[in-house]
A and B are shown apart, each in its own frame.
Chain A
Amino acid sequence: MTPRRTTRQDAGDNPPPDRSAPGPGPGARDAVVVGGNRIPFARAGGAYAGVSNQEMLTAALDGLVARFGLQGEVLGEVAAGAVMKHSKDFNLVRESVLGSALDPRTPAYDLQQACATGLEATIAVANKIRLGQVESGVAGGVDTISDAPIAVSPGLRRALLAAGNAKTFQQRLKAFASVRTSDLKPDAPRVDEPRTGLSMGEHQAVTTARWGVTREAQDELALASHQHLAAAYEAGFFDDLVTPFRGLARDNNLRSDTSLEKLAALRPVYGKTLAGTTPSMTAGNSTPLTDGASTVLLASREWAAERSLPVLAKVVDADTAAVDFVHGDEGLLMAPAYAVPRLLARNGLTLDDIDFFEIHEAFASTVLTTLAAWEDDTFGRERLGLDGAFGTVDRARLNVVGSSVAAGHPFAATGGRIVATAAKLVAQRAAETGRPARALISVCAAGGLGVAAILESA
Chain B
Amino acid sequence: MLEAKALKKAFGSVKAVDGVSLRAARGETVGLLGPNGAGKTTTVSIVAGLLRPDSGEVLIEGRPLGGDTDPLKRQIGLVPQDVALYDELSAMQNLALFGALYGLGGARLKRATAEALDLAGLADRAKDKVAIFSGGMKRRLNIVAAMLHDPAIILLDEPTVGVDPQSRNAIFENLEIFKKRGKTLIYTTHYMEEAERVCDRLIIIDHGKVVADDTLRGLYRLVPATNLLNVELDRDIDGAALEDLRHLPEVKSAKMGGGVLKVGVPDLSAGAPRILAWLAEGGHSFHHISSERADLETVFLTLTGRKLRD
Answer yes or no: are A and B bound together in one complex: no
Q: Which residues of B contact A (CB under 8 A)?
A: none
Q: Which residues of A contact B (CB under 8 A)?
A: none
